[in-house]
Amino acid sequence: MFLEEYVAEEQRQPLRVELKGALPFSPAAPREIAELGLRIEDLPTPVMVLAADEIDHNATTVARWCVDQGVELAPHGKTTMAPSLWLRQLQAGAWGITVANEHQLAVALDAGVRRIQVATPIARPGAMAPVRDALQRGELDEALIWADSPAAVLAAGGSGPGPRIGVLVDVGSRGARTGVRSLADAARVADAVRDADGLALRGIGAYEGAVPGVHHDQRRLRAYLSDVVAAFHLVAPRVPTGTAVLSIGGSAGIAETVRLVREGLGDTSARVIVRSGVSIAHDDGYYEGMKEPALPLHAAVAVWGRVVSAPEPGLALVDVGRRDIGYDQGMPLVLGIHRGPQSVAAGARVTALDDQHAYLALDSGTASVEVGDLVEFGVSHPCTTFDRWPVIATVRHRGDPSAAIVGAIRTHF
């Protein structure tokens, strides 16, 4: 099945009420939701919504930037785990989709993604058998996996004739995440790939975001990327066919990372693949704070709740909690408080979250908040909000409780 067919079928499937986010729509199918005539203010809360126009803007913006920079895009699917959003990214020009574990890989294969990058070593022997089978059947056009040890290479290897899985040597840094710590280690991994059945060396992979202090000290970023380029120069001549791959770039500071990599490579030929996954949705906190002028992305995620208690001056409780919204990179941000068509408060902030409640501190002088008021929250680091919602409603834009619900997407975490 091709991804387009998978998404079309998903849009035809009735939503089951036990799926979080489906309650106001069940048993309608996602493609029928617009006909229900529902608005955000009609929905039970908490509820996550995505702004479709902002999703389109972000997908197009990143794809155009990649073309301008001469790089390919394999956005990290772990952010959304939503085949419909993967399809939007691919339609905008992405080369393929990146994943990080066997479950994500299985979802991507089942959905019909044709080009996949597994951007971490996978250590279970036999884990790559489904990839090899998909290549053999012609259901997968290209696969790239990462390895930082001969043991990981051995686990990924296969036997017999057929298409080979491409391997990128994972290049790390002391105190960081996975990845070789020296050129000698990189050479050992490259040699292991050469000697393995069913694998072919394709280049290197790297993730600058895990290097301690890299987002606040450009010297550390430069030092790490210098090591990455050195590893590329070591590995590239060993790549048996095609242009060697250099996979780099998370979602934070991607433009600067690519600039420095290009600077380090000089005239060296390289197939640079970037992996920004958050860019499809952006956020109002962590990534907004590091937004680069070259990539004017728009936040597309919101979680709405209702004030369920205002027990004392300066405090309101909203029915959005840790089970509903991410908080690993900072508390949710209050985007607005609404009573009917009016915005009724400013200066509110989330001070704490329980499982099902957000504590809103109201600044002195803020208009009173009443039980039943609708509160719109923005998020910081959208990945850990997406994974709480199997069904996500879509609107055209954020910020309006009377916005019409125009559809829904499914996630598969």
Structure token digits, residue 79 = 């952010």
pLDDT at 1: 65
Q: In the β-sheet with 245-248, what is the strand arrangement from edge to edge?
A: 72-73, 271-274, 245-248, 199-206, 165-171, 142-147, 115-121, 97-99
pLDDT at 26: 97
pLDDT at 368: 80
Full-model pTM: 0.95
Residue 183: CA atoms inside 13 Å, Cβ hemisphere, count? Answer: 11
Q: Has residue 406 got a pLDDT over 90? A: yes
Residue that the structure tokens 């686990």 belong to: 155
Q: Has residue 313 got a pLDDT over 80? A: yes
- Average pLDDT value for residue range 356-380: 91
Q: Has residue 346 got a pLDDT over 80? A: no
Residue that the structure tokens 């990143």 belong to: 62
Share of the chain above pLDDT 90, in %: 90
393-402: pLDDT as tens digits? 999 999 999 9
Share of the chain above pLDDT 70, in %: 99
Superfamily of domain 3-51+297-410: D-serine dehydratase-like domain (2.40.37.20)
Q: Has residue 226 got a pLDDT over 90? A: yes
334: left (phi over 0), alpha (psi -120 to 50) or beta: beta
Rounded Cα distance between 234 and 127, Å, is 28
Rounded Cα distance between 231 and 220, Å, is 17
pLDDT at 388: 98
Rounded Cα distance between 240 and 167, Å, is 12
269-286: pLDDT as tens digits? 999 999 999 999 999 999
- Average pLDDT value for residue range 169-191: 97
Domain residue spans in the chain? 3-51+297-410, 114-276
Q: Which CATH number fits domain 114-276: 3.30.930.10, 3.20.20.10, 3.30.70.2740, 3.40.50.720?
A: 3.20.20.10
Sequence letter at residue 72: E
99-126: pLDDT as tens digits? 999 999 999 999 999 999 999 999 999 9
- Average pLDDT value for residue range 279-298: 94
pLDDT at 287: 92
Reported confidence tier of residue 345, pLDDT bands at 50, 70, 90: confident
- Average pLDDT value for residue range 65-92: 98
Q: Has residue 309 got a pLDDT over 70? A: yes
- Average pLDDT value for residue range 137-164: 94
DSSP, res 261: H
pLDDT at 215: 82
Q: Has residue 307 got a pLDDT over 70? A: yes
Reported confidence tier of residue 365, pLDDT bands at 50, 70, 90: low
Of 199, 206, 200, residue with least CA distance to 232: 206
Structure token digits, residue 395 = 């609107």
Q: Has residue 250 got a pLDDT over 70? A: yes
Of 283, 374, 391, residue with least CA distance to 328: 283
Reported confidence tier of residue 366, pLDDT bands at 50, 70, 90: low
